[in-house]
Structure 1
Amino acid sequence: MILITGANGQTGRAIIKALLSKGEKIRAFVYKTEQIQEIKALGEMEVIAGDMMDQKVVDEAFIGVNAVYHICSALNPLEVEIGKMMIKAAQSAKVEHFVFHSVLHSVLQDMPHHQKKLMVEAVLVDSGIPYTIIQPAVIMQNIFESWKSLTEKGVFQQKFFTKETRMNMVDLDEVAEAAAIILTTPGHTGVTYELCGPENLSLSDMVAAMEQHFGHEIKVQTTEDEVLEAQLKKFGVGEYKVNSLLKMFKHYNEHGFVGNPNVLTWILGRKPSDFSSFILRAIQSKIS
């Protein structure tokens, strides 16, 4: 039995699909009871609902589990506390493999969510549990946040980087495929894996790929920090998440966020998808 925490997010769903395709028995840990039927639509699995800060629920989720893929909700101010709770439950349940979904270059400490993920990594390494730490680059599927604007107006809304900086992006489906391999085949414990796509892209590189497949000019629209902050707070986003996002964008704009595809290539047994092919598949899937 493999436990997936944070199961109802886009990463959790992708990993569940990849594991189900291998015929694995899954237990999904979601936050709200109304999410149970949503997640069960993906396939046959057990589902448990509750707060990851509730030790009783967490301990229940780990009963009979031999492996776990732990995903904390994005930019969670309690990520360290949740991580410690999960690791404690895994120790009690004698889990054989704990996979932690971290972030590429968690060592970069000017971004608060990197700080927290690095702290969880340290606790996990010292826990005595056979572990794997997954550090994915920026997920290509984040483009979908601007998809409506792209398709209807030809406008790419983003804040990630300037024309000079470069970003590594990776297909979430391939991260999930790699995660399924790591969870179901031996030889992947005691290691940290950086999972990156094959390119470090400039903004102009991304726009060129989109223009090629959309068949028209793509304009870039960047939201100012003050406007973005106001928009996020209007939608009830907390202070920690707002500040973390702004610091993340600042770092990306100043330094970029580059990576190397060799590890993912080795795990998958093939070269990871490039950004252009991802955009083409996305357009085709939306049309069909």
Structure 2
Amino acid sequence: MILVNAANGNQGKFLIPRLLRAGATVRACVRSEAAASGLSAAGVAEVVVGDIGEPDIIARAVRGVDKVYHVCPTMHPLEREIGFGMIDAARAEGVKHFVLGSVLHPHLTALVQHEIKRDIEEHLIASDLPFTILQPAIYMLPLKLKPAFEQGRYTVAWSPERIQSLVDIGDVAEVVAIVLTHSDDHLAATYELSGAERLTAHDMARIIGAVIGQTIPVEEIDVETFLHALFGDRDRSSLDHQVRAVRSLNTCYSAHDFVGNANVLRWLLGREPRTPASRSATSSVNDKGPRTAMLPSPMLDAFPRPWQARRGRRPCT
């Protein structure tokens, strides 16, 4: 059985259907009964409902599973403690494969969330658990593109001139499913997951504008506006961790580019990663329209991918 944490989150919504189609038996961990009902109806075998920040929920979630995919809910104030607790519980249960959803460049510790994920990576490596670490770049999410389609503007809370690497969340979910269902091929690996294009906010606005046929202006919003968009009028004193995390994003992403390399993702997928243009085209029709075709890359033939051969694909020669 495979445990998927935060199963109703951004990644879980893409990952769970892939695992079920692959024939995996899945236990999901979510916060609400409503989410649990939807997952059960979709074919998830078991659902644990509760706050993953509570040790007893972690223990219930991990008990009896063979594999764990751990990705913490975004900006959870107890992310470090949850990560440590999941790893310790998995070790006590004798879990055979622990897959950690981390972040690209976790050693950039001026970023609050990166420092936490670096610490969790270290704890996992030191645990002697069989592990795989996945380090995705900034997600291309339909939710992030929605304002551009609805309001005709592309907003960022940092310098729009800075260059960034993005990764399609569907591609990340595909890699997670590959790693979890073909564990032996991926043990002790740390994979950077990045798309091929390196873009500024102005580039992104041009891509979206080309998809919907209009000029999309770029608007740099200040941190307070961004915080209000995320958390509304909630008391900032109750959001100390989240506020520090957002401020660190603003500072670091304004001061430095944030880029990765697509070679590892190409190899894992056996094709070119999805692009912002293909994600924008999909998002413009509520994620139900056709995607841009994903073509194989010639360089991939030099690097065998045994899990693809076992799935019935032509092995590389």
TM-score (norm 2): 0.85
- The alignment partner of 1:193 has SS state of strand
Q: 1:265 corresponds to which residue?
A: 266
- The alignment partner of 2:100 has SS state of strand
Q: 1:170 corresponds to which residue?
A: 167
User: Is it true that 1:111 corresponds to 2:111 in the alignment?
Assistant: yes
Written as runs of structure 1 = structure 2, the 5 A alignment for 1:65-214 is: 65-141=65-141, 144-147=143-146, 149-163=147-161, 165-185=162-182, 186-214=184-212
Using the alignment, how far apart are the partners of 1:275 and 1:85 within structure 2? Answer: 36
Q: 1:226 corresponds to which residue?
A: 224
Is 2:67–2:96's contact at 8 Å kept on the other side of the alignment?
Answer: yes
| RMSD of aligned alpha carbons | 1.8
The Cα shift of 1:225 comes to 2.0
The Cα shift of 1:33 comes to 2.9
Amino acid at match of 1:8: N
Using the alignment, how far apart are the partners of 2:219 and 2:42 within structure 1? Answer: 35
Using the alignment, how far apart are the partners of 1:12 and 1:287 within structure 2? Answer: 18
Is 1:146–1:158's contact at 8 Å kept on the other side of the alignment?
Answer: no
Is 2:202–2:218's contact at 8 Å kept on the other side of the alignment?
Answer: no
C-alpha distance after superposition, 1:81-136 (max 9, x if no partner): 11111111101110000001111100001011111110010000000100011110
The alpha-carbon distance between structure 1 residues 287 and 72, as it changes in their structure 2 partners (threshold 3 A), is: closer
Q: Which runs of 5+ in 1 are unaligned?
A: none
Identity of aligned residues (%): 35
Q: Which runs of 5+ in 2 are unaligned?
A: 290-317
Using the alignment, how far apart are the partners of 1:7 and 1:160 within structure 2? Answer: 30
Written as runs of structure 1 = structure 2, the 5 A alignment for 1:31-46 is: 31-46=31-46
Is 1:7–1:71's contact at 8 Å kept on the other side of the alignment?
Answer: no
Is 1:161–1:256's contact at 8 Å kept on the other side of the alignment?
Answer: no
User: Is it true that 1:24 corresponds to 2:44 in the alignment?
Assistant: no
Is 2:160–2:201's contact at 8 Å kept on the other side of the alignment?
Answer: yes
C-alpha distance after superposition, 1:42-67 (max 9, x if no partner): 43331011222332332222222110
The alpha-carbon distance between structure 1 residues 24 and 236, as it changes in their structure 2 partners (threshold 3 A), is: farther
Using the alignment, how far apart are the partners of 1:225 and 1:4 within structure 2? Answer: 32
Aligned positions, number: 285
TM-score (norm 1): 0.93
Q: 1:250 corresponds to which residue?
A: 251
The Cα shift of 1:236 comes to 5.0
Using the alignment, how far apart are the partners of 1:87 and 1:153 within structure 2? Answer: 43
User: Is it true that 1:54 corresponds to 2:54 in the alignment?
Assistant: yes
Using the alignment, how far apart are the partners of 1:212 and 1:154 within structure 2? Answer: 12
Is 1:174–1:272's contact at 8 Å kept on the other side of the alignment?
Answer: yes
Using the alignment, how far apart are the partners of 1:208 and 1:273 within structure 2? Answer: 17
C-alpha distance after superposition, 1:167-203 (max 9, x if no partner): 1111101100001001111220112111111111122
